Structure 1
Amino acid sequence: MTALVVLLLFVVIALLAPLLTKVTGWGPISPDNAAINPDTGNQPYGSLGGISLTHLLGVEPGTGYDLFGRIVYGLRTSLLVGFASALLSTVAGVVAGLAAGYFGGWVDNLLSRIMDVMLAFPQLLFIIALTPVIQNALQTNSHGGTNEKLRLVVLIGNIALFSWAYTARLVRGQVLSLREREFVDAARIMSAGRRHILFRQLLPNLWAPILISFALAVPQNITTEAALSYLGVGVIPPSPDWGALLSDASQFFLQDPMYLFIPGVLLLILVLALNLLGDGIRDALDPRAQRG
């Protein structure tokens, strides 16, 4: 429940980012040159990275941009990529797992081999390799560069492409057990079609493992997105992102450790809350885990 409350707090902050930065006056988007000291290489005034009533989390060294504004807008990006890619990979995994487990034969063999190949891929390495290739093929904006929104869609698709096999393998195993149960035999005797058996008989009995898989995929995808942005192949400016923020902050760690500490701790709290929530959902929906 604590993890759920923390997650809801992050979601509310992300949804209210424009209100928090414009109406309340917290986290102004424009740079504040008065908050950085030109005599020290444009480092923030004060010992805590420029934290004040105007700048709740301080300012960025060199630019004077408010760190709170960058973080709340970057949170929207992280949650969007995490949930969207987890949803896509879960849907694809459920469809593949249902088909492999129910039809068996050459369908199961083909899909199982594809799952094995996808699970053997070093996910992060191949996303890093694919992203520049796709970026060069998507010269879509007026400046000859990659459109930021389209880049975000490609990033979501790449993460989902390399993560659907986990859900598919889980669903396949469950379907192999369920297809031999009495209620499936009864549906066949009553001349129920394959679509009815798949989506009306089997799928409703799979919602617990599917929900668990989705809940555990979200934090993993958020971490992957942050790592990609940290390495420079994720979300591109001017779109805000926590991974890119950590990459920039690592250059100023000795001069302004708060610049790295604050977004790093917030990312840790978000991922930890999502993982604990996923574990809680698994314990609540899996009676065997409780008995163990």
Structure 2
Amino acid sequence: MTMPPHPTDATGEAAALVEDRSEAAADGSAMAAATAIAGRSPARAAWMRLRRDKVSLVALTVSVLFILVAVGAPLLSSLGGWGPITPDNNAINPDTGNYPIGSFGGISLNHLLGVEPGTGYDLFARIIYGMRTSLLVGFLSAVLSTVVGVVVGLTAGYFGGWIDTLLSRIMDVMLAFPQLLFIIALTPVIQNSLQTNEHGGTNENLRLLVLVLNISVFAWAYTARLVRGQVLSLREREFVDAARIMGAGWQHILFRQLLPNIWAPILISFALAVPANISTEAALSYLGVGVVPPAPDLGSLLSDSAQWFLQDPTYLFIPGILLLILVLALNLLGDGVRDALDPRANRS
């Protein structure tokens, strides 16, 4: 006669079955998580960390907005019907020294940010064209200085010996220079020696090229020093030795083995160089050795607004606050990129 299963045995078997299923589910979840982590590229992991940083997202949004406005400056200014050097004589009063007519520097539907005292130029058009100039110089000088710094840093760190000694001494000399002072001294000399336009002045494109070159000449050493230090710590690693054993040339080792492993600090250096270069360009224009009037530029706007501050303070505050927001957003974005690319960053 067959005895029925004992209640305790049935309960034990059910518990064991539930436990097995729980372990299987846990193992499946762990395998799925491991697969997701293993399939996530470093760039995507950095982007996910950046997305969790609200300050960085706001900075990214503001930076993209400024860039879009600068790129679309011709279209935006045409919508208002005013160019950066198109005067509106009806918006200024010649009896009061060409002071803008109306409140807050002549702000109206016709001139969204008012007009420039003395000239009658539309301030909105001047500002957005000035942003384009500042961003163009900032990005181009950052790209050029980063490229030169990466090449010099790779060469010095990998080859070592007298090449490293020579390039390191050159870096030390460049870092010792008072950057802003030498740019102020060199820019007018170079510009005066360049081809002049039909009005007897330097071509505007050549002036921008001189600014980019002068800023880059004194900025590449920072990136080169950073890259050299990274290469010194990587050149004796196993993957580099394996490449040498397999007969890879120095070009392959530098640009296919070492460079992909140091892209994060290079990107961080570039992100932080852009706002610094924009500030330098604005300072040069403020001092009269950058972009000169009537060409629009934020630095020259701030310089011109100083003499009108008591009569029209908005002429100083509007471009000054916008320049502050632009540089601050780019700096915060650079800090966010640095934290996102650091796998040891503690994110909540």
TM-score (norm 2): 0.81
Q: Specify the SS of the correspondent of 1:163.
A: helix
Of 127-136 and 233-242, more deviation after overlay is shown by 233-242
Whichever residue aligns with residue 250 of structure 2, its letter is: R
Taking the aligned partners of 2:191 and 2:333, their CA distance within structure 1 comes to 35
Name the CA shift for 1:132/1:212 in 2 (closer, same or farther; >3 Å). Answer: same
User: Aligned AA for 1:220?
Assistant: A
Amino acid at match of 1:18: P
- Structure 2: unaligned runs, 5 residues or longer: 1-56
- Report the CA distance shift for 1:27/1:5 in structure 2 as closer, same or farther (over 3 A): farther
Structure 1 residues 261-290: Cα deviation after superposition (integer angstroms, max 9, x where no partner): 000000000000000000000000012344
Cα distance in structure 2, aligned partners of 1:290 and 1:217: 25
**1-structure distance, mates of 2:77, 2:340:** 38
Q: Does 1:33 align with 2:77?
A: no
**Which residue of 234, 247, 252 maps to 1:191?**
247
The alpha carbon displacement at 1:102 in A equals 0.3
User: 1:32 and 1:9 mapped to 2: Cα distance?
Assistant: 28
In the alignment, structure 1 segments of 5+ residues that lack a partner are none
Q: How many residues align?
A: 290
Distance 1:289 1:126 in 2: 38
**Residue 226 in structure 1 maps to residue 282 in structure 2:** yes
CA distance in 2, matches of 1:136, 1:276: 37
Decide whether the 8 Å contact of 1:26 with 1:56 is kept in 2.
no
Deviation at 1:142, TM superposition (A): 2.5
Q: Which residue of 2 aligns with 1:288?
A: 344
Deviations 1:163-206 (A, max 9, x none): 00000000000000010111101111111110000000000011
Shift of 1:118: 0.4
2:211 aligned partner: 155
Please say if residues 27 and 54 of structure 1, whose CA atoms lie closer than 8 Å, have aligned partners that are also in contact: no
> For the residues of structure 1 that align with 2:194 and 2:103, how far apart are their CA atoms?
44
Task: Please tell me whether residue 246 in structure 1 is matched to residue 302 in structure 2.
Answer: yes
Shift in Å, 1:26: 5.7
Matched to 1:132, the amino acid is P
Q: Distance in 2 between matches of 1:170 and 1:126?
A: 23
- Distance in structure 2 (CA, Å) of the matches to 1:276 and 1:43: 38
CA distance in 1, matches of 2:345, 2:270: 18
| SS of aligned partner of 1:177 | helix
Q: Aligned match of 1:167 in 223, 245, 264?
A: 223
Structure 2: how far apart are the matches of 1:17 and 1:136? 29
Q: Which residue pairs with 2:201 in the alignment?
A: 145
Contact 1:27 1:56 in 2 (8 A): no
Q: Which moved more, 1:145-154 or 1:95-104?
A: 145-154
- Which deviations, in whole Å up to 9, do the C-alpha atoms of 1:121-174 show, x marking residues without a partner? 000000001011102211432233211111110110000000000000000000
1:93 to partner: Cα distance: 0.2
Of 18, 21, 24, the residue aligned with 2:74 is 18
Q: Report how far residue 238 of structure 1 moved.
A: 3.5
Structure 1: distance between partners of 2:262 and 2:164: 18
Residues 37-94 of structure 1, C-alpha deviation per residue, up to 9 Å, x if partnerless?
Answer: 2222111122311111111101000111100000011111001000000000000000
User: What is the aligned partner in structure 1 of residue 177 from structure 2?
Assistant: 121
Q: Which amino acid aligns with 2:158?
A: Y
Q: Does 1:212 align with 2:268?
A: yes
- Shifted more, 132-141 versus 262-271: the winner is 132-141
Distance 1:171 1:290, change over 3 A: farther
Of residues 317, 328, 333 in structure 2, which corresponds to 1:272?
Answer: 328
Aligned counterpart in structure 2 of residue 104 of structure 1, from 146, 155, 160 = 160
| Structure with greater Cα Rg | 2
1:68 paired with 2:119, answer no
How far off is 1:28 after superposition? 4.5
The answer to whether residue 143 in structure 2 is matched with residue 83 in structure 1 is no
Matched, 1:203 2:259: yes
What amino acid sits opposite 2:131 in the alignment?
A: L
TM-score normalised by the chain length of structure 1 = 0.97
Which of 109, 113, 116 aligns to 1:53? It is: 109
More off after superposition, 212-221 vs 26-35: 26-35
Q: Report the secondary structure of 1:92's partner residue.
A: helix
Percent of aligned pairs sharing the same letter: 80
